[in-house]
Structure 1
Amino acid sequence: MKNPLERGRTNNHFKVTLAALAVIFAGCSDPSSAVGDGGAPAGGAPPPLDGGVPSPPTDGGGASEDGGRDDEDASAPPPGTLSARYPDDEGIGRDPAVLFHDDFEAGWGRWDGPTADTRTLRIEADPATAHGGQRYLRSTVTTADLAEETYISSSTRVTHERVDAIYWRFHARFPELAPNPHHWVRMAAGTEDWDSSGLANTVPAGDEGFWFDFDTNTDDVFNFYVYWYKMRSGRCNDGTATPGCAGDQGTTYHYGNVFQPPGQAPFPRDRWFCIEMHARANTVGESDGALAFWIDGAPIGDYRPGYPDGTWLRDQFHTGGCAFSACTPPEPFGGFDFRSSEDARFKSFMLDAYYERDSDARRRAEMEERGLTVSDAHTILYDDVVIATERIGCRR
């Protein structure tokens, strides 16, 4: 059984969050929405982060309506990206900027773990299904599995050269309509010896490490879920843990701080789509750390010093502001002070579909209340994983 403390995956998070929401909702001026109309300012997407290359939104190219590939119609990768230099990813793994690459064509062996197929993870050979080439990785967890185990982590993991700024790219496909993972992909930074990412309700030491998950909810949209030494508590409206504060929950807790860009379109079901992320650690003593992500080459989330405007409420940053009575006026985001030692650097990556029995049941009930027919198999396909120190771009 999975340790319930690992990765912050306890039912207490849900219970505490409900308690926090109850206090906030009591003063809502608009109970139908937790965010305003915020988002990118007029005039289009913001400038890219350092090393990034701007790219216009696409029509989700890269797959046809029947779920197959449609590479001929896909737009070209942004100039200056690795995929622009290496069409179809041919030779991309040999570029000096690439820290890790796996297209699963050679089977297991490039990941630290697992090193062979498991109950929930297996490499399959089917060129009609693979995003590129012949093979891809399949993760499947069933409701029967969750009846036997409360926590299931269907996860790969790899430790790479430690760096201060990094890009990740992979292609994913959700072939069935099922509850999404309780938490999903994780990226961790730390010292050479530190390996404690994922502990629930824990503020990591600034001179040891930090981490974040890239998650998706029942609306099929994405958010960052971030743990670092200056993270905010959910106890007080202002993010502190001071007894007697405004909105005091009566207990101190620190779960991942949430950054969910508003206005996202749901990701497409049963076709491949491309996910890119960028993270930059801060200069020690400064708040110049940053996070960003793109879907199918279109910039979606971008959090860096001075951008975007938004409002902190408890442990969530609301882009554009929020409508609760406790919300303060939007201000430019102050950036991330992720670490207090330059020895805490990005070091590991996990394709971790993490499921928790009770959370899965709640998500399933929510989907069924919408009239959806929900599968008992939670399946995610992965292909064409790259970790690099430059913007990668989608495989075309």
Structure 2
Amino acid sequence: MTVKQLTCTLVVLAAIAGFKPPHGPARHYPGGSLAAQYPNDRGIEQDPDVLYAEKFSDGMSNILARYTDVVNSGGMSLDSVDVPAKGCIALKMTNQGGKNDGGHLFRMFDPGFDSVLYIRYYVKYPSGSKGYIHHESVWIGGYRPATRYPNPRAGTCALGDQRISIAYEPVGPLDDMDTYLYWGDMRAGARGKCYGNDMINGSPQSKKIPWDQWMCVELMIRLNHPATASNGELQVWQDGAVVGHWGPGFPNGKWLADSWMNDKTGPPFEGFRWRTNEKLNLNYIWIEFYDDTTPEGASHHIKFSNLVIAKRYIGPIKSGKG
């Protein structure tokens, strides 16, 4: 591997040591994005506030070696033409109907992150996937004990001492983007089962899937401290625009089964008690393409690019020359 390739891979020194929670609520300052300092994301992985960067820039063998669980590597390839910005590389994941249901890259971090955390990535949903998307996004979360592979335990409620899973992805048949959350105090839906809680539900800030276009997704997660408190937060951006922000005392609304409905006349959101044990932290990412309804003989795909995890707001890629 050349020096250039090495600097374009991941930076995880902070992940090895972990980092401690700041005091007070998460604050965000307009115009203060980390990406604004690095046109086309060049060198962003070297910033001291970056905890992990995946730019897919050093070849498939090196990429696959970074992840603790890989499914369907044969359906993965790299693209340097159809990318979100000049000089970027995209990972393309494909499936084959009747043979597989997509694939994934899963990485465990040890000891993980225990603070305010930001994750930003680019994703492109092809219009040919309409009607077939099940779970296609980047999940971030934690397991206790940490595992080298995904174990979401879909349908199981609580697990506040064992599981956090956070995603923003296509939900429902109307091209909507929404959250998909597993957490300690998550709400149950039909038949008392717990699947991902959705928080946006057509609010004025909600967004649609921009089919066949690169989309920038960013999440901010503030873990609750202490574990008995409901002072956790979640904020979501799509292409740099705030889609939603939930924390102790905001916004107003109400729970309808497993869906939070924003409503100015309702009581304030109670805040997230993401976990009931402080030893549960954010210790994995899951780059997921799960399409289990593609007809036999057909194929679908998804593309990801420029994933960054940092201690502060990252923002969309700033375009630049070279």
Asked if these proteins are the same fold (TM beyond 0.5), I'd say yes
Determine whether 1:309 maps to 2:252.
yes
1:320 to 260, 263, 269: 263
Q: Which residue of 2 aligns with 1:92?
A: 44
Amino acid at match of 1:133: G
In the alignment, structure 1 residue 335 sits paired with structure 2 residue 286: no
Letter in 1 for 2:193: Y
Pairs within 5 Å for 1:134-283? 135-141=89-95, 145-149=96-100, 152-160=101-109, 161-179=112-130, 181-184=133-136, 185-191=138-144, 193=146, 197-217=151-171, 218-234=173-189, 251-261=191-201, 262-263=203-204, 264-283=206-225
More deviation, 288-297/260-269: 260-269
SS of residue paired to 1:257: coil
TM-score, normalised to structure 1, is 0.64
Assess if the C-alpha contact under 8 Å between 1:172 and 1:381 holds in 2.
yes
Structure 1 position 299, deviation (Å): 0.5
Count how many residue pairs are aligned between Structure 1 and Structure 2. 281
Aligned-pair CA distance for 1:268: 2.0
User: Which one-letter code corresponds to 2:211 in the other structure?
Assistant: R
Cα deviation, residue 293, structure 1: 0.9
Q: CA RMSD in A?
A: 2.7
CA drift at 1:97:
1.8
**1:381 aligned onto 2:303:** yes
Cα distance between partner residues in 1 of 2:133 and 2:288: 9
Change over 3 Å in CA distance of 1:202–1:135 after alignment to 2: same
Q: Give the C-alpha shift of residue 153 in structure 1.
A: 4.3
**Which structure features the higher share of strand residues?**
2
Structure 1 residues 207 and 115: alpha-carbon distance in aligned structure 2, compared to 1, 3 A threshold: closer
Alpha-carbon distance in 1 for matches of 2:69, 2:58: 14
Any conservation in 2 of the 1:121–1:155 contact (CA below 8 Å)?
no
Render the CA deviation track for 1:304-323: whole Å, top value 9, x for unaligned: 112211111111111127xx
Between the aligned partners of 2:256 and 2:94, the Cα distance in structure 1 is 36
Deviations 1:273-307 (A, max 9, x none): 21111111111211111111111111012111122
In the alignment, structure 1 residue 286 sits paired with structure 2 residue 229 = yes
Matched-pair contact (CA < 8 Å) for 2:88–2:306: no
Kept after mapping to 2: 8 A contact 1:189/1:210: yes
Unaligned regions of 5+ residues in structure 2, if any? 1-24
Q: Which has the larger radius of gyration?
A: 1
**TM-score (ref. length: structure 2):** 0.78
Name the CA distance, whole Å, in 1 between partners of 2:207 and 2:184: 32
Q: CA deviation at 1:95?
A: 1.7
Cα separation, partners in 2 of 1:153 and 1:187, compared to 1, 3 Å: farther
Distance 1:343 1:85, change over 3 A: same
Q: How far apart, in 1, do the equivalents of 2:117 and 2:213 lie?
A: 27
- Give 1:223's aligned amino acid: D
Q: CA deviation at 1:232?
A: 1.7
* Partner Cα separation in structure 2 for residue 310 and residue 117 of structure 1: 42
Question: Does the 8 Å CA contact 1:165/1:346 hold for their aligned counterparts?
Answer: no
Q: Is the 8 A contact 1:304 1:333 kept in 2?
A: yes
Q: Secondary structure at the match of 1:172?
A: strand
Is the CA contact 1:290–1:305 (under 8 Å) kept in the aligned structure 2? yes
SS at match of 1:93: helix
Are residues 153 and 200 of structure 1, via their aligned partners in 2, closer, same or farther at CA, if it must alter by over 3 Å?
farther
Q: Which stretch of the first structure deviates more once superposed, 209-218 or 284-293? A: 209-218
Q: What SS does the corresponding residue of 1:147 show, helix, strand or coil?
A: coil
In 2, Cα distance between the equivalents of 1:131 and 1:113? 28
Unpaired runs of at least 5, structure 1: 1-48, 55-77, 236-250, 322-328, 362-375
Are residues 209 and 266 of structure 1, via their aligned partners in 2, closer, same or farther at CA, if it must alter by over 3 Å?
closer
Taking the aligned partners of 2:186 and 2:179, their CA distance within structure 1 comes to 13
Contact 1:197 1:210 in 2 (8 A): no
SS at match of 1:259: coil
